[in-house]
Amino acid sequence: MSGQFRADGSLRHLLTLEDLPRPLIERLLERAERFVRPLGARPPASRVLEGCTVANLFTEPSTRTRVSFELAAKRLGADVVNLEVQLSSRVKGESMLDTVYTLQSLHVDAMVIRDAEIGVPATVAAHVADHVSILSAGEAHVDHPTQGLLDALTVRQHKSRFDTLSIAIIGDLRHSRVARSAWHVFRALGVSDLRIVAPPALMPPAGEFEGCSRHTRLESGLPQADVVMMLRIQKERMAQVELPDADRYYASYGLTPERLALARPDAIVMHPQPMNRGVEIASAVADGPRSVIRDQVRNGVAVRMAVLAEVLAWRSAA
């Protein structure tokens, strides 16, 4: 067990989607849906987290996740602090836990943590005071739970079902935390046909991604897919010698309009971003009519609002 639940069964931390029960996932998605507004409309504003403080503690680069956690907390009325890790004491040798204890002394109620090392969010969660919640914003190649939820919300909005869907996750599966969280959430939601597609060198080890069919060619993994999820090559998690040649990769695995024609005519295309146009995806697809990539970004704020409201619900009730 991940230790993310309180004794009364409520969600205290969000470290992984692995053991989240389907009813809780569905409740989070429904709550998030209520925070979604059309572009151009005023974003939702609430004061349920007034008096709470959320700290963003990112030691790996992030654009969308950091900004959307900040906006999510602010749109619920919380105060937000963003720790600039290059400027923080961590570079002076202060351990992550000392930084966390400092934030705890400053009355931070929830810490949002991104780190390249496996186990950091769980270690912090095991050491903080009982009233503090830890939310993973991306842990090594292992998990990115709020990304998994925003991906599920995006699929739900466009397909209105999960059980009869065919979902193809394509690219650097071996090093992708996005893919692992997607696998957890889609499995929990009952997706019947989950496919992973990667060159042999980027395929996850045997034993991982249980229940997914494995394909080393797009031409075998893409046909009749309802959802096509593209992934970036995680250069930062590979040695230079392991890096595939970008042109050769695009020639075999790049999602072009011609290849997308193998999927269902109403298939949607997703990508967690940042995108490498001309490597894993053609611009004509990324910006094309089947792309829901910008919806994913919008849904990210809504999902993070739902998660913050869930773990800090006891605060608003107190």
For ligand ASP, give the closer residue by CB, 59 or 273: 273
120-179 positions binding ligand ASP, by CB under 6 A = 138, 144, 177-178
Radius of gyration of the chain (CA): 19
Minimum distance from residue 144 beta carbon to ligand ASP (Å): 5
Number of residues that bind ligand ASP (CB under 6 A): 7
Among 42, 99, 52, 93, CA closest to 74: 52
For ligand ASP, give the closer residue by CB, 132 or 301: 301
Tokens of 104: 């705890």
Count Cβ atoms below 10 Å from residue 19 Cβ, excluding itself: 14
For ligand ASP, give the closer residue by CB, 4 or 296: 296
**Number of H-type helices and E-type strands within the chain:** 12, 9
For ligand ASP, give the closer residue by CB, 244 or 272: 272
Closest CB to ligand ASP: residue number: 232
Minimum distance from residue 80 beta carbon to ligand ASP (Å): 20
For ligand ASP, give the closer residue by CB, 12 or 232: 232
For ligand ASP, give the closer residue by CB, 48 or 275: 275
Minimum distance from residue 114 beta carbon to ligand ASP (Å): 7
Residue with tokens 């995680």: 234
Contacts of 47 (CB under 8 A, 6+ apart): 76, 77
H or E segment to which residue 55 belongs: strand 53-58
- Binding to ligand ASP by residue 83, rule CB under 6 A? no
Name beta bridge partners: 55: 81, 111
For ligand ASP, give the closer residue by CB, 178 or 312: 178
Pick from 232, 298, 304, 315: which binds ligand ASP (CB under 6 A)? Answer: 232
Q: Give 3-state DSSP helix, strand, coil % of the chain, rounded to 5.
A: 40, 15, 45
Minimum distance from residue 143 beta carbon to ligand ASP (Å): 10
Pick from 121, 145, 272, 300: which binds ligand ASP (CB under 6 A)? Answer: 272
According to DSSP, residue 301 is labeled: H
The number of CA neighbours under 13 Å toward the Cβ of 300 is 22
Minimum distance from residue 232 beta carbon to ligand ASP (Å): 4
Minimum distance from residue 280 beta carbon to ligand ASP (Å): 10
Minimum distance from residue 122 beta carbon to ligand ASP (Å): 18
CB 195 within 8 A of CB 169: yes
Among 108, 184, 173, 191, CA closest to 147: 184
**C-alpha to C-alpha distance for 261 and 95, rounded to whole angstroms:** 51
Rule CB under 6 A: which residues touch ligand ASP? 138, 144, 177-178, 232, 272-273
